[in-house]
Structure 1
Amino acid sequence: MDDDTAGDVEVRELRYFLAVAGELHFGRAAERLGITQPPLSRAIRQLERRLGVPLLDRDRHGVTLTAAGEVLRAEAGTALDAVAAAARRTRRAGTTERRLVLATKSGASHEVLRGLLDAAEREPGVPPVEVLLCEIGEQAVLLRTGRADVALMHRPVDDLSGFDTEDLRTEGQVAILPADHPLAVRPHLTLAEVGAIPGLPMARWPRLDGTYPDGPGPEVHTQSQLAQLVALGKTLLLIPASSRAWQWPEHVAVPVRDAPPITTVIAWPASSRSRPLAALVRTATRLRTAAQ
């Protein structure tokens, strides 16, 4: 099989395959897709013929992925995201009112964001910037699927693979504690102290696959949940120092002197050739230079 044949793979076939790979059952996958099972089975067989390799092992016990199927499961999601992103960005480019969508974690990098928006309004060549607020770790998905053109993200905690970036600010971290906690009056803490506070475990955020890491801390998936749990004395968190702009009166921020520094970056898809986006990035880097 040559590469040209592999290039004939259809988006529909990849979507069907991912449904089967996720369910490992043709009937459930067909129900999830809203189709009957026969056309789904035909599409998967056609995909295997196109690629020239078996993707699934089928027997009376069920369906499992072959080694080739595992590779395609890992790659197909990225391919579908790229197609969706291309469609969304093309539609935005074709509208009469141009805009850039900037994704940023709610409550984070507030000073950087405010300065960038103010400067962008004065910068020729930068269209209106729409701010898309999201939760922890969601910026990468929004960029890869084309829901956002650019994002404010954080190294080393965010997934920056496949993106071009420019560093904007590097800073230390603080522990956000309940205001009435005995350690709230300390001038600083260490990571060892933060990890060993009785009755105040770190909150747990979901991984990319939706599962939570093991640990005693509460499971959270929004900033508002986290803020209230801190105020109630149920958890604490580590965040970049500037992100404490969202903290409640019931919170206290204590510097953690040996926590690794966090760098706020402006990130965009490496494949982007957007001139308005390039103008926004130049504006952000000029602000960084002026602040140094």
Structure 2
Amino acid sequence: MAELETRELEYFVAVAEELHFGRAATRLAIAQPALSKAIRRLESRLGVKLLERSSRHVALTSAGEALLHHGRHALNAVSAAAEKARRAGDQHAHLRLVIKPGGDANLLSGILAAYAGRPDARQVDILFGGATDRADHVRDGRADVALLYLPFDDMTGLDHETLTVEGRVAILPPDHRLASRSEVTLADLAQETLPRWRGVRWTGAPEAVPGPEVTDAAEAMHMIRLGRTIAILPRSLAQPPHPDLVYRPVIDAPHSELVLAWAQDDRRRLVASFVSAAVDAAGAT
């Protein structure tokens, strides 16, 4: 089979993520006809159809879904290789930690203090990522370590240490049928509508109905207030509580884990020292 070029993968991933040739062309800063031609050429070389097209609709085929999944990782690997090579030669590199705003379960201050007390400590740069892209920051070299939540984040290519394990809470509008309960179960939530988090595999309650797609907690809270959905989140991500919503523990929901993750092939002392400090600090809380 013909080898793929990085540029071809970039073109395809843009179209597959946007599901619109015009938006993908704008994102790539190329002409739409050239992009369409490049995708047709790629399909011809691979011998498979990647996209179903009509005048109003673009959808991925099963082959396209597979290429999107693996293509993202391939592009991340290429970017990470260059970045890691550069940083490996920098003896004064800062350590870069990517987090979701509010996504540290109140552990970050203790972790940073524990690391700062180590003789080999470096400056720590805090980067803020979105609800679903923090793992990619590590895979493509933009960050050295990330605070992630299991089972929500994609851990492909990453190692991790668990910092804390916590329960989940249901977030409900105040007029919801379950709002008067002190706690709820997964069975109570059967047939409820739960949001689909963009870029995250479905982690809703069994028998729940996939609802509107959201990209972050603010969007989810807005949809809950409108009565379009409810949500089940790790307890720490439900803080601080919104005054117009009701929070109830889901007593039999699988626990979530806050983990510190790094690239599987990253054996730098810089990273190992920070991981060790984080585990020590989390264990002391």
Give the structure-2-normalised TM-score.
Answer: 0.72
- Check the 8 A contact 2:48/2:63 in 1, yes or no: no
CA deviation after TM superposition for structure 1 residue 101, in Å: 2.0
The match for 1:127 among 122, 126, 129 is: 122
CA RMSD of aligned residues (A): 4.4
The match for 2:149 among 154, 171, 178 is: 154
Say if 2:199 is the partner of 1:204: no
- Check the 8 A contact 1:108/1:243 in 2, yes or no: yes
* One-letter identity of the residue aligned with 1:151: A
The match for 1:263 among 242, 247, 257 is: 257
- Check the 8 A contact 1:56/1:69 in 2, yes or no: no
Write the distance in 2 (CA, Å) between the matches of 1:92 and 1:179: 51
More helix by share: 1
CA deviation after TM superposition for structure 1 residue 57, in Å: 6.2
Identity of aligned residues (%): 39
Partner of 2:204: none
Superposed counterparts of 1:41-52, under 5 Å = none
- Residues 259 and 280 of structure 1: CA distance in aligned 2, closer, same or farther (over 3 Å): same
Say if 2:247 is the partner of 1:253: yes
Residue 81 of structure 2 aligns to a residue whose secondary structure is helix
Residue 218 of structure 1 aligns to a residue whose secondary structure is strand
Write the distance in 1 (CA, Å) between the matches of 2:111 and 2:224: 30
Partner of 1:238: 232
Partner of 1:228: 222
Partner of 2:135: 140
* One-letter identity of the residue aligned with 2:106: E
Partner of 1:34: 30
Superposed counterparts of 1:66-105, under 5 Å = 75-92=70-87, 98-105=93-100
- Residues 137 and 216 of structure 1: CA distance in aligned 2, closer, same or farther (over 3 Å): closer
When the two structures are aligned, how many residues end up with a matched partner?
Answer: 270
Higher alpha-carbon deviation: 93-102 or 254-263: 93-102
Residue 202 of structure 1 aligns to a residue whose secondary structure is strand
Look at both structures and tell me which one has the larger radius of gyration over its CA atoms: 1
- Residues 163 and 97 of structure 1: CA distance in aligned 2, closer, same or farther (over 3 Å): same
Partner of 2:108: 113
Residue 225 of structure 1 aligns to a residue whose secondary structure is helix
Give the structure-1-normalised TM-score.
Answer: 0.70
Q: Give the unaligned 5+ runs of structure 2.
A: 54-61, 202-207
- Residues 195 and 126 of structure 1: CA distance in aligned 2, closer, same or farther (over 3 Å): farther
Partner of 2:169: 174
